[in-house]
Protein backbone atom coordinates (compact mmCIF):
# COMPACT_ATOMS: atom_id res chain seq x y z
CA UNK A 1 0.00 0.00 0.00
CA UNK A 2 1.47 3.30 -1.12
CA UNK A 3 -1.19 6.00 -0.81
CA UNK A 4 -3.83 6.44 1.88
CA UNK A 5 -6.35 9.28 2.15
CA UNK A 6 -7.87 10.05 5.55
CA UNK A 7 -11.26 11.75 5.56
CA UNK A 8 -11.44 14.00 8.60
CA UNK A 9 -7.74 14.66 8.49
CA UNK A 10 -7.73 17.08 11.42
CA UNK A 11 -9.50 14.72 13.80
CA UNK A 12 -7.64 13.51 16.86
CA UNK A 13 -7.38 9.94 15.59
CA UNK A 14 -6.37 11.07 12.11
CA UNK A 15 -3.55 13.23 13.45
CA UNK A 16 -2.23 10.19 15.33
CA UNK A 17 -2.70 7.81 12.41
CA UNK A 18 -1.02 9.94 9.73
CA UNK A 19 2.50 9.83 11.21
CA UNK A 20 2.22 6.07 11.77
CA UNK A 21 1.47 5.56 8.10
CA UNK A 22 4.11 8.05 6.99
CA UNK A 23 6.69 6.23 9.12
CA UNK A 24 5.78 3.06 7.22
CA UNK A 25 6.59 4.77 3.94
CA UNK A 26 2.99 5.47 2.93
CA UNK A 27 2.05 8.71 1.20
CA UNK A 28 -0.71 10.12 3.40
CA UNK A 29 -3.19 12.86 2.63
CA UNK A 30 -5.70 14.33 5.03
CA UNK A 31 -8.97 15.81 3.81
CA UNK A 32 -10.10 18.85 5.77
CA UNK A 33 -12.80 21.47 5.33
CA UNK A 34 -11.07 24.35 7.09
CA UNK A 35 -7.89 25.79 5.60
CA UNK A 36 -6.87 26.97 9.08
CA UNK A 37 -6.07 23.32 9.82
CA UNK A 38 -3.49 22.96 7.06
CA UNK A 39 -0.45 23.43 9.30
CA UNK A 40 -1.62 20.87 11.85
CA UNK A 41 -2.22 18.25 9.17
CA UNK A 42 1.14 18.94 7.56
CA UNK A 43 2.86 18.66 10.96
CA UNK A 44 1.38 15.15 11.21
CA UNK A 45 3.22 14.29 7.99
CA UNK A 46 0.11 14.24 5.81
CA UNK A 47 -0.55 16.31 2.73
CA UNK A 48 -3.48 18.64 3.52
CA UNK A 49 -6.35 18.50 1.03
CA UNK A 50 -9.01 21.17 1.51
CA UNK A 51 -12.31 19.74 0.34
CA UNK A 52 -15.80 19.78 1.84
CA UNK A 53 -16.97 16.16 1.61
CA UNK A 54 -20.42 17.15 2.89
CA UNK A 55 -21.23 19.36 -0.08
CA UNK A 56 -19.24 17.36 -2.64
CA UNK A 57 -20.98 15.02 -5.06
CA UNK A 58 -19.96 11.39 -5.40
CA UNK A 59 -18.47 12.27 -8.79
CA UNK A 60 -16.34 15.04 -7.29
CA UNK A 61 -15.20 12.73 -4.54
CA UNK A 62 -14.29 10.01 -7.04
CA UNK A 63 -12.03 12.50 -8.77
CA UNK A 64 -10.48 13.39 -5.42
CA UNK A 65 -9.87 9.72 -4.58
CA UNK A 66 -8.35 8.73 -7.92
CA UNK A 67 -4.96 7.07 -7.49
CA UNK A 68 -5.37 6.26 -3.80
CA UNK A 69 -4.87 2.75 -2.46
CA UNK A 70 -7.15 3.15 0.55
CA UNK A 71 -9.64 5.51 2.15
CA UNK A 72 -9.98 5.86 5.92
CA UNK A 73 -13.13 7.51 7.24
CA UNK A 74 -12.27 9.24 10.51
CA UNK A 75 -14.59 12.23 10.21
CA UNK A 76 -17.58 13.19 12.30
CA UNK A 77 -19.99 16.02 12.85
CA UNK A 78 -18.90 16.23 16.47
CA UNK A 79 -22.33 16.87 17.86
CA UNK A 80 -24.54 19.79 16.97
CA UNK A 81 -27.86 19.44 15.20
CA UNK A 82 -29.26 16.07 14.12
CA UNK A 83 -29.43 17.44 10.58
CA UNK A 84 -25.69 18.11 10.55
CA UNK A 85 -24.99 14.71 12.10
CA UNK A 86 -26.97 12.89 9.42
CA UNK A 87 -25.38 15.02 6.69
CA UNK A 88 -21.85 14.12 7.80
CA UNK A 89 -21.93 10.75 9.54
CA UNK A 90 -24.46 9.10 7.24
CA UNK A 91 -24.88 10.88 3.93
CA UNK A 92 -21.34 12.10 3.32
CA UNK A 93 -19.87 8.84 4.57
CA UNK A 94 -22.02 6.84 2.17
CA UNK A 95 -21.06 9.10 -0.73
CA UNK A 96 -17.39 8.52 -0.01
CA UNK A 97 -17.97 4.76 -0.19
CA UNK A 98 -19.71 5.05 -3.53
CA UNK A 99 -16.99 7.41 -4.74
CA UNK A 100 -14.23 5.04 -3.65
CA UNK A 101 -15.86 2.27 -5.66
CA UNK A 102 -16.25 4.54 -8.69
CA UNK A 103 -12.59 5.60 -8.43
CA UNK A 104 -11.37 2.01 -8.21
CA UNK A 105 -10.14 2.42 -4.62
CA UNK A 106 -11.24 -0.86 -3.11
CA UNK A 107 -9.77 -0.65 0.41
CA UNK A 108 -11.94 1.27 2.87
CA UNK A 109 -11.57 1.47 6.65
CA UNK A 110 -14.41 2.95 8.67
CA UNK A 111 -13.87 4.25 12.20
CA UNK A 112 -17.19 3.55 13.91
CA UNK A 113 -17.81 2.82 17.58
CA UNK A 114 -18.42 -0.09 19.94
CA UNK A 115 -22.07 -1.11 19.83
CA UNK A 116 -22.91 0.58 16.54
CA UNK A 117 -25.74 -0.95 14.54
CA UNK A 118 -29.52 -1.07 14.26
CA UNK A 119 -29.72 -2.51 17.77
CA UNK A 120 -27.72 0.33 19.31
CA UNK A 121 -30.35 0.83 22.00
CA UNK A 122 -30.00 4.61 22.22
CA UNK A 123 -33.38 6.22 23.05
CA UNK A 124 -34.73 8.66 20.49
CA UNK A 125 -34.74 11.45 23.07
CA UNK A 126 -31.03 10.97 23.78
CA UNK A 127 -28.65 13.50 22.21
CA UNK A 128 -26.54 10.59 20.90
CA UNK A 129 -29.47 9.11 18.95
CA UNK A 130 -28.82 10.86 15.63
CA UNK A 131 -25.19 9.80 15.68
CA UNK A 132 -26.10 6.21 16.53
CA UNK A 133 -28.65 6.11 13.72
CA UNK A 134 -26.25 7.72 11.24
CA UNK A 135 -23.41 5.32 12.02
CA UNK A 136 -25.75 2.33 11.85
CA UNK A 137 -26.85 3.38 8.37
CA UNK A 138 -23.33 4.14 7.14
CA UNK A 139 -21.88 0.89 8.45
CA UNK A 140 -24.77 -1.09 6.97
CA UNK A 141 -24.24 0.51 3.57
CA UNK A 142 -20.53 -0.24 3.66
CA UNK A 143 -21.22 -3.92 4.30
CA UNK A 144 -23.38 -4.08 1.16
CA UNK A 145 -20.66 -2.72 -1.11
CA UNK A 146 -18.03 -4.65 -3.02
CA UNK A 147 -15.31 -2.63 -1.28
CA UNK A 148 -12.58 -4.36 0.71
CA UNK A 149 -13.91 -2.90 3.94
CA UNK A 150 -13.02 -3.12 7.59
CA UNK A 151 -15.11 -1.46 10.30
CA UNK A 152 -13.48 -0.50 13.59
CA UNK A 153 -15.61 -0.30 16.73
CA UNK A 154 -13.57 1.26 19.53
CA UNK A 155 -15.06 1.98 22.93
CA UNK A 156 -15.30 5.35 24.66
CA UNK A 157 -12.39 7.42 23.40
CA UNK A 158 -9.75 8.83 25.73
CA UNK A 159 -6.55 10.80 25.30
CA UNK A 160 -4.37 8.28 27.13
CA UNK A 161 -0.98 7.32 25.76
CA UNK A 162 -0.81 4.34 23.40
CA UNK A 163 -0.23 0.93 24.95
CA UNK A 164 -0.31 -1.14 21.78
CA UNK A 165 -2.52 -3.62 23.64
CA UNK A 166 -6.27 -4.12 23.29
CA UNK A 167 -9.01 -6.66 23.82
CA UNK A 168 -11.40 -7.71 21.07
CA UNK A 169 -13.70 -9.26 23.66
CA UNK A 170 -14.63 -6.00 25.38
CA UNK A 171 -16.40 -5.81 28.69
CA UNK A 172 -19.12 -3.23 28.16
CA UNK A 173 -18.56 -2.01 31.72
CA UNK A 174 -14.96 -1.09 30.89
CA UNK A 175 -15.16 0.60 27.51
CA UNK A 176 -12.26 3.05 27.50
CA UNK A 177 -10.12 3.08 24.36
CA UNK A 178 -7.30 5.52 23.78
CA UNK A 179 -7.38 7.33 20.47
CA UNK A 180 -3.71 6.43 20.12
CA UNK A 181 -4.59 2.74 20.26
CA UNK A 182 -7.35 3.30 17.69
CA UNK A 183 -4.75 4.83 15.37
CA UNK A 184 -2.49 1.82 15.91
CA UNK A 185 -5.34 -0.57 15.12
CA UNK A 186 -6.27 1.39 11.98
CA UNK A 187 -2.68 1.24 10.77
CA UNK A 188 -2.56 -2.47 11.53
CA UNK A 189 -5.74 -3.39 9.65
CA UNK A 190 -4.70 -1.43 6.59
CA UNK A 191 -1.73 -3.78 6.36
CA UNK A 192 -3.71 -6.90 7.29
CA UNK A 193 -5.73 -8.23 4.35
CA UNK A 194 -7.40 -10.86 6.52
CA UNK A 195 -9.35 -8.10 8.29
CA UNK A 196 -11.25 -7.33 5.09
CA UNK A 197 -14.95 -7.95 5.54
CA UNK A 198 -14.75 -7.87 9.32
CA UNK A 199 -16.09 -5.58 12.02
CA UNK A 200 -13.56 -5.37 14.85
CA UNK A 201 -14.85 -4.12 18.18
CA UNK A 202 -12.24 -3.44 20.83
CA UNK A 203 -11.21 -1.51 23.90
CA UNK A 204 -7.93 -1.02 25.66
CA UNK A 205 -6.71 -4.34 27.00
CA UNK A 206 -3.64 -6.46 27.55
CA UNK A 207 -3.19 -8.30 24.23
CA UNK A 208 -0.77 -6.93 21.62
CA UNK A 209 -2.75 -5.53 18.70
CA UNK A 210 -1.44 -7.93 16.07
CA UNK A 211 -2.13 -10.93 18.29
CA UNK A 212 -5.60 -9.64 19.19
CA UNK A 213 -6.50 -9.22 15.53
CA UNK A 214 -5.24 -12.72 14.69
CA UNK A 215 -7.24 -14.22 17.55
CA UNK A 216 -10.41 -12.44 16.44
CA UNK A 217 -10.01 -13.48 12.82
CA UNK A 218 -9.32 -17.08 13.83
CA UNK A 219 -12.75 -17.14 15.49
CA UNK A 220 -14.32 -16.09 12.19
Cβ burial 25-58 (10 Å sphere, 16+ → b, else e): ebbbbbbbbeeebbeebeebbbbbbebebeebeb
Query: What does the alpha-carbon distance between residue 75 and residue 102 come to, in Å, rounded to a whole number?
Result: 20
- pLDDT tens sequence across 66-86: 999 999 999 998 877 999 999
Q: Are strands 165-167 and 157-158 parallel, antiparallel or unpaired?
A: unpaired
Closest listed residue to residue 6, CA positions, set 85, 76, 103 = 76
Question: What are the residue boundaries of the structural domains of the chain, listed by start?
Answer: 3-218
Asked whether 5 and 49 are in contact (CB, 8 A), the reply is yes
Query: What does the alpha-carbon distance between residue 121 and residue 93 come to, in Å, rounded to a whole number?
Result: 22
Rounded to the nearest 10°, the torsion over CA 121, 78, 70, 30 is: -170
> What pLDDT score does 79 carry?
77
Asked whether 101 and 147 are in contact (CB, 8 A), the reply is yes
What's the predicted TM-score (pTM) here? 0.96
Q: Which residue out of 86, 108, 113, 131 is catalytically annotated?
A: 131
- pLDDT tens sequence across 84-120: 999 999 999 999 999 999 999 999 999 999 999 999 9
Known active-site residue 108: no
Cα distance between the two ends of the chain: 25
Closest listed residue to residue 137, CA positions, set 174, 88, 102 = 88
> What pLDDT score does 97 carry?
98
How much is the average pLDDT of 119-132? Answer: 92
The listed CATH number (3.90.380.10, 3.40.50.720, 3.40.50.300, 1.10.10.10) that belongs to domain 3-218: 3.40.50.720
- pLDDT tens sequence across 139-197: 999 999 999 999 999 999 999 999 999 999 887 777 899 999 999 999 999 989 999 99
Asked whether 17 and 183 are in contact (CB, 8 A), the reply is yes
- pLDDT tens sequence across 188-208: 999 899 999 999 999 999 999
**CA dist list (Å): 162 to 87, 191, 205:** 32, 19, 11
Q: Write the DSSP assignment of 82-105 as a string of letters.
A: HHHHIIIIIIIHHHHHHHHHHHT-
Amino acid sequence: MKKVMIIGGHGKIALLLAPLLAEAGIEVSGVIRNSAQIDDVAAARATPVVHDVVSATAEELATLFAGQDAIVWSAGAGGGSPERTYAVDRDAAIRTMDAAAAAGVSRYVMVSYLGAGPGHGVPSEDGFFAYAEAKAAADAHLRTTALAWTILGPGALTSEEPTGTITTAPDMAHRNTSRANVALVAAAVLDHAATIGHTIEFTDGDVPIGQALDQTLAKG
